[in-house]
């Protein structure tokens, strides 16, 4: 009887402990969804000192990259307004190398369709009226002159604004933005989980490429057939250099170039993207292959010009955790040693097949 | 008020000044200007063949030229760069420079206002707007047809449509010289707003149309040169043949009518020709302002207002100025090209202000 009584007490204590733990977990989940739940004071990239009293229930994000990060933090259902860059929202719903189920952009698209999430203009032409109409607790956007001009009015209306960095001169800026959002939104643990996952995937890519002979690469966009070489400080070129490549043809800033520039520098590898949806990259490939001047380009003769369609272009130009795909794709293109057979015309979603190698981690 | 052949005596005549002098000294000046202009154009053309992102010395360019002539075509990379890239590009620049200058001079005569040009009257913007609509809105069409042939057509349609609008606005507001300037300004603003609207809804396509907004001769080839060269040449010859009639137009529609011209019809037809000429000029290189405005002025200072002298000289001067600007744009920075539209405007704005301050009061606005 005593034993039974002791046993009953122990079970009862255990049950109470479990209920308390479950309650605490539920409370934390409600606040932080896997994070530590603490809302830290942060100083954002516009110098705003922000300390939220409670986790925001209504968030407006004015840049698709910020939208993705907020969604990755588990707050998709709290997003009540986004800008209408549906092309940028149209990325893959998963990221190789990061084994997390992010549900982005599917869930967000569904919310937009149902009207739960409003479209707040375009990324450059959103208005403060549209934002105010969405009645947000918090507005998240990147640091740009256009955004900062409108920020003051939002702040005067009592709306808290959180400004992320837009100077993507190193991969670490993606981590910095995620960390900032995580701290401000009470999801530090989840932000760290994503950042650690991405850092590990990036580390894996660098590790696999270590020792490979660096090549001279240039990334060029060809919207409407006009060629623009990305500047040397562009993140794509920064990554290529960190992989051991050179980017001799890249100037200080992105600018118009011609085939003469390509002939002058004769890079080993040329990666072309459309910088938009309308350029037909297969037509561009045919055009270059029949052009007598391009015929003298070493990379063309060696089959080392790669034409990225819109989806793979997003992978290399979309500075969120999806950028893991961009790094993996660039590495797969540049280094034959990786054994990934990337065709010259990198079509649509097929590019995912050329980046899946980063999942083969031991 | 006119000389023996029916044209105004000199630049002062154009300005409404009653002082009349003979034309012999102006003819001598024209001959000198054309001779010098042709010589400098030839030099600049040769110079332009050696300038660009790809390193090609004068000796290298000479060897490449010899190779092209000897073999009937280019074989080495040097010769290919020379033949496929630089020769057609510089030829395009010359034709566009001459075309824009002539378009400006003719427009100034027809409207009798030396402060107008195809840019100010909305024609360039109309052509550019047409190309923009095609590039963004007609992307699927672009896949079906050769854009090289469609672009000049949509540019001409856009230019003529814009010009018709400007003409309508100008005519219903009295048809005075100033009406054309204001009408053009309004239409240009409208087209600019349309351009902004279209690009704001297609922000990721902005770069694909920026070439027409900023102006550039980058990567023009024989294919494009062939398309614009002969039509522009024909229009220029046509304008030269019309120099005497343009002189009559300077006297005003009533005076021209008394000299046997159907001035109104002539003016309308010539404006359409100018719109088409401008459209051909901007079709592949985008909007380039001020050449049509500044060059006729500079030329008028040298050879006076008689279009028999003004037009050929303006064509040569326009070609020289644009060729020099293009050489600068493609060689100022080693890794990228500068947009020629912007560079011309940087030089053109202070020049225009100077001309306005100096000459503006002379003209009835």
Is B6 contained in some domain? Answer: no
Rounded to an integer, what distance in angstroms lies between the CA atom of residue A304 and that of residue A333? 9
Side-chain-side CA neighbours of residue B203 (13 Å): 13
Average pLDDT over residues A35-50: 82
In chain B, % helix, strand, coil (3-state, to 5) comes to 75, 0, 25
Q: Which residue of B has its CA nearest to A259?
A: B219
Is B200 contained in some domain? Answer: yes
Q: Which residue of A has its CA nearest to B89?
A: A258
Rounded to an integer, what distance in angstroms lies between the CA atom of residue B292 and that of residue B296? 7
Give the domain extent around B109.
11-362
pLDDT at A29 over 50: no
Asked if the Cβ–Cβ distance from A263 to B204 is below 8 Å, we say: no
Q: Contact at 8 Å (CB) between A173 and A167?
A: yes
Between A158 and B259, residue with greater pLDDT:
A158
pLDDT at B334 over 80: no
Angle at A336 between CA A334 and CA A342, to 5 degrees: 75
Name which of A55-64, A259-268, B115-124 the model is least confident about.
B115-124
Asked if the Cβ–Cβ distance from B205 to A223 is below 8 Å, we say: yes
Please say whether the dihedral angle defined by the alpha carbons of residues A69, A358, A207 and A268, taken in this order, is positive or negative. negative
Instruction: Look at residue B141 in the predicted model and tell me its pLDDT.
Output: 47
Between A174 and B17, residue with greater pLDDT:
A174
Please provide the size of chain A in residues.
362
Q: Which residue in the set A228, A254, A292 is minimally distant from B80, CB to CB?
A: A292
| SS3 at position B261 | coil
Name which of A134-138, B109-113, B228-232 the model is least confident about.
B109-113
pTM exceeds 0.90 for this model: no
ipTM of the complex: 0.74
Instruction: Look at residue A338 in the predicted model and tell me its pLDDT.
Output: 94
Is B3 contained in some domain? Answer: no
Closest CA to A92 of A360, A350, A349: A349
Domain ranges of chain A: 42-205, 212-359
Instruction: Look at residue B7 in the predicted model and tell me its pLDDT.
Output: 42
pLDDT at B36 over 60: yes
Is B2 contained in some domain? Answer: no
Rounded to an integer, what distance in angstroms lies between the CA atom of residue B328 and that of residue B356? 27
pLDDT of A185-212, one tens digit each? 999 999 999 999 999 999 999 999 999 9
pLDDT of B199-228, one tens digit each? 777 766 666 666 667 788 888 889 889 888
pLDDT of A264-318, one tens digit each? 999 999 999 988 777 889 999 999 999 999 999 999 999 999 999 999 998 898 8
Q: What is the 3-state secondary structure (H, E, C) of A164-195?
A: ECCCCCCCHHHHHHHHHHHHHHCCHHHHHHHH
| SS3 at position B189 | helix
Is B328 contained in some domain? Answer: yes
Matching fold, domains A42-205 and A212-359? yes
Is B5 contained in some domain? Answer: no
Rounded to an integer, what distance in angstroms lies between the CA atom of residue A61 and that of residue B356? 49
- Give how far A26 is from chain B: nearest CA, Å: 43
Q: Contact at 8 Å (CB) between B136 and B205?
A: yes
Residues of B with a Cβ under 8 Å from any A Cβ are 52-55, 74, 77, 80-81, 84-85, 135-136, 139, 142-143, 147, 200-211, 216, 218-219, 333-337, 339
- Give how far B358 is from chain A: nearest CA, Å: 37
H or E element in which residue A257 lies: strand A255-257
- Number of domains present in the structure of chain B: 1
Between A221 and B153, residue with greater pLDDT:
A221
Identify the DSSP state of A163: E
Is B116 contained in some domain? Answer: yes
Asked if the Cβ–Cβ distance from A258 to B77 is below 8 Å, we say: no
Angle at B320 between CA B80 and CA B60, to 5 degrees: 30
pLDDT at B352 over 60: yes
Closest CA to A205 of A70, A315, A328: A328
Instruction: Look at residue A141 in the predicted model and tell me its pLDDT.
Output: 94
Q: Which of residues 108-147 of A touch B (CB under 8 A)?
A: 122-125
Structure tokens at A78: 């709290």
Q: Which fold has domain A42-205?
A: Rossmann fold (3.40.50)
Could you tell me the CATH number of the domain that includes residue B144?
1.10.3470.10
Asked if the Cβ–Cβ distance from B219 to A258 is below 8 Å, we say: yes
pLDDT at A24 over 60: no
Instruction: Look at residue B261 in the predicted model and tell me its pLDDT.
Output: 80
Pairing of strands A79-82, A269-273: unpaired
Please say whether the dihedral angle defined by the alpha carbons of residues B237, B243, B246 and B248, taken in this order, is positive or negative. negative
Instruction: Look at residue A17 in the predicted model and tell me its pLDDT.
Output: 65
Please give the mean pLDDT across all residues of chain B: 83
pLDDT at B19 over 60: no
Rounded to an integer, what distance in angstroms lies between the CA atom of residue B145 and that of residue B365? 46
Q: Which residue of B has its CA nearest to A261?
A: B53
Name which of A87-91, A165-169, B158-162 the model is least confident about.
A87-91
Q: Which residue of B has its CA nearest to A310?
A: B204
Residue with tokens 């740009």: A144
Q: Which CATH class is domain A212-359?
A: alpha beta
User: Which residues of chain B make contact with A234, given a CB cutoff of 8 A?
Assistant: none
pLDDT at A362 over 60: no
Is B173 contained in some domain? Answer: yes
Name which of A28-37, A113-122, B148-157, B303-312 the model is least confident about.
A28-37
Instruction: Look at residue B324 in the predicted model and tell me its pLDDT.
Output: 95
pLDDT of A60-108, one tens digit each? 999 889 999 999 999 999 999 999 865 677 888 888 888 777 788 899 9
pLDDT at B15 over 60: no
Q: Which residue of B has its CA nearest to A265?
A: B54
What percent of chain B has a predicted confidence (pLDDT) above 70?
A: 85
Instruction: Look at residue B207 in the predicted model and tell me its pLDDT.
Output: 66
User: Which residues of chain B make contact with A278, given a CB cutoff of 8 A?
Assistant: 135-136, 139, 142, 205, 208
Which of A84, A263, A301 should be substituted to probe chain B, the one whose Cβ sees the most B Cβ atoms within 10 Å?
Answer: A263
Strand order in the sheet with A227-229: A255-257, A227-229, A217-221, A269-273, A305-308, A345-346
- Band of pLDDT at residue B144, cut at 50, 70 and 90: very low
Average pLDDT over residues B40-52: 94
């Amino acid at each position: 009887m005593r034993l039974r009584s002791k046993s009953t007490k122990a079970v009862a204590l255990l049950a109470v402990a479990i209920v308390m733990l479950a309650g605490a977990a539920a409370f934390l989940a409600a606040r932080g969804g896997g994070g530590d739940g603490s809302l830290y004071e942060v100083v954002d990239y516009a110098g705003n000192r922000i300390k939220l009293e409670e986790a925001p229930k209504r968030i407006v994000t004015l840049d698709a990259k910020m939208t993705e990060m907020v969604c990755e933090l588990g707050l998709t259902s709290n997003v009540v307004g986004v800008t209408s860059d549906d092309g940028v929202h149209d990325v893959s719903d998963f990221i190789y190398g990061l084994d997390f189920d992010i549900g982005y952009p599917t869930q967000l698209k569904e919310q937009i369709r149902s009207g739960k999430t409003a479209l707040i203009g375009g990324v450059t032409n959103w208005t403060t009226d549209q934002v105010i109409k969405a009645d947000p607790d918090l507005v998240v956007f990147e640091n740009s002159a256009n955004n900062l001009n409108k920020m003051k009015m939002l702040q005067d209306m009592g709306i808290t604004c959180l400004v992320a960095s837009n100077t993507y001169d190193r991969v670490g800026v993606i981590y910095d933005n995620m960390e900032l959002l995580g701290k401000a939104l009470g999801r530090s643990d989840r932000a760290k989980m994503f950042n650690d996952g991405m850092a590990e995937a990036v580390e894996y890519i660098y590790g696999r490429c270590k020792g490979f002979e660096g090549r001279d690469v240039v990334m060029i966009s060809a919207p409407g057939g006009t060629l623009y070489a990305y500047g040397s400080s562009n993140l794509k070129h920064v990554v290529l250099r960190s992989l051991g490549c050179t980017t001799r043809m890249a100037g200080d800033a992105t600018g118009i170039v011609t085939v003469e520039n390509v002939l002058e520098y004769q890079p080993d590898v040329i990666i072309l993207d459309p910088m938009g949806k309308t350029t037909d990259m297969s037509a561009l490939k045919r055009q270059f292959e029949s052009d007598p001047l391009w015929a003298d380009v070493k990379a063309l003769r060696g089959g080392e010009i790669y034409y990225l369609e819109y989806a793979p272009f997003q992978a290399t130009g979309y500075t969120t955790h999806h950028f893991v795909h961009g790094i993996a794709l660039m590495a797969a293109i540049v280094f034959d040693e990786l054994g990934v057979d990337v065709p010259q015309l990198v079509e649509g979603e097929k590019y995912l097949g050329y980046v899946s190698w980063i999942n083969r981690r031991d | 008020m006119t000389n023996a052949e029916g044209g105004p005596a000199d630049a002062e005549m154009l300005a409404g000044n009653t002082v009349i002098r003979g034309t012999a000294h102006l003819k001598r000046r024209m001959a000198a200007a054309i001779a010098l202009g042709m010589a400098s154009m030839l030099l600049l053309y040769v110079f332009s063949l050696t300038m660009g992102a790809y390193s090609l010395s004068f000796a290298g360019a000479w060897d490449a030229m010899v190779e092209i002539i000897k073999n009937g075509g280019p074989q080495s990379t040097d010769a290919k760069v020379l033949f496929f890239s630089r020769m057609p590009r510089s030829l395009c620049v010359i034709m566009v420079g001459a075309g824009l200058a002539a378009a400006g001079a003719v427009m100034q005569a027809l409207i009798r206002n030396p402060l107008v040009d195809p840019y100010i009257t909305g024609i360039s913007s109309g052509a550019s707007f047409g190309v923009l609509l095609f590039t963004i809105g007609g992307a699927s069409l672009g896949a079906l047809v050769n854009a090289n042939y469609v672009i000049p057509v949509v540019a001409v349609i856009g230019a003529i449509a814009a010009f018709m609008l400007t003409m309508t606005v100008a005519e219903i507001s009295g048809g005075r010289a100033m009406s054309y300037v204001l009408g053009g300004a309004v239409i240009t603003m409208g087209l600019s707003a349309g351009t902004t609207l279209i690009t704001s809804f297609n922000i990721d396509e902005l770069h694909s149309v920026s070439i027409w907004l900023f102006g550039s001769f980058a990567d023009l080839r024989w294919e494009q040169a062939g398309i614009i060269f002969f039509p522009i040449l024909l229009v220029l010859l046509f304008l030269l043949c019309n120099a005497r009639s343009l002189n009559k137009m300077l006297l005003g529609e009533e005076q021209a009518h008394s000299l046997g011209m159907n001035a109104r019809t002539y003016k309308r037809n010539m404006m359409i020709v100018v719109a088409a000429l401008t459209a051909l000029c901007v079709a592949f290189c985008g909007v380039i302002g001020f050449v049509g405005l500044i060059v006729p002025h500079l030329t008028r200072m040298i050879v006076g207002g008689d279009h028999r002298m003004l037009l050929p000289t303006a064509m040569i001067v326009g070609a020289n100025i644009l060729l020099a600007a293009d050489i600068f744009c493609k060689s100022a920075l080693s890794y990228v090209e500068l947009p020629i539209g912007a560079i011309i405007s940087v030089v053109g704005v202070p020049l225009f202000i100077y001309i306005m301050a100096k000459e503006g009061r002379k003209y009835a606005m």
